[in-house]
Amino acid sequence: MSTTAHHPLYTPEQKRKRDASVWTLVQGLLAPLQFLVFLVSLTLVLRCLATGAGESAALTSVVVKTLVLYTIMVTGCIWEKVVFGQYLFAPAFFWEDVFSMLVLALHTAYLYAWWTGALSPVQQLWLAVAAYASYCINATQFILKLRAARLQAAASSGQASGPAVALQ
């Protein structure tokens, strides 16, 4: 669903709830933390795939990234409930939430493979690369949606955008 002049991302009441919610701050803090954990893990994963070095650190880093992902997804669901009245698939973030399910599925498949040894370490790392690619697409979806909302808010008020909005 695109954000147009006729269909703003937030109603005035939803914007008030978003701005008043502690979960907006939580999301605003977790999103860059998750991105930092992602960058460190991606570096370790790619280094291991390229050189074979640091396998344990690379495999463990994906577990840490997945736990941070679960945290931001749970708190994001709470944020969505506070702002939109439902935990997932609110019309404003429907497609982002749909793609988030793929991101979660791939990360969860990684955890299963890591825990059970169902895949070799190299296969686990390639699964992590797929999970990370889906995470990058999903993060881009949210960034573009929130940028459009800020531009729309600025255009409608004639001012610069207000507080940052949460990323799931």
Spatial separation of the C-alpha atoms in residues 155 and 128, rounded to whole Å: 40
Q: What are phi and psi of 120, to 5 degrees?
A: -65, 160
Spatial separation of the C-alpha atoms in residues 90 and 81, rounded to whole Å: 9
**Lowest-pLDDT choice from 65-69, 83-87, 146-150:** 146-150
Encoded tokens for 118? 């169902």
Position 104 confidence tier, pLDDT thresholds 50, 70, 90: very high
pLDDT in tens, 140-153: 998 898 888 778 77
CA 61 and chain centroid, separation: 17
- The number of residues making up the chain comes to 168
Please name which of 67, 63, 72, 71 lies closest in space to residue 44, comparing C-alpha atoms: 63
Kindly report the pTM of this predicted structure: 0.82
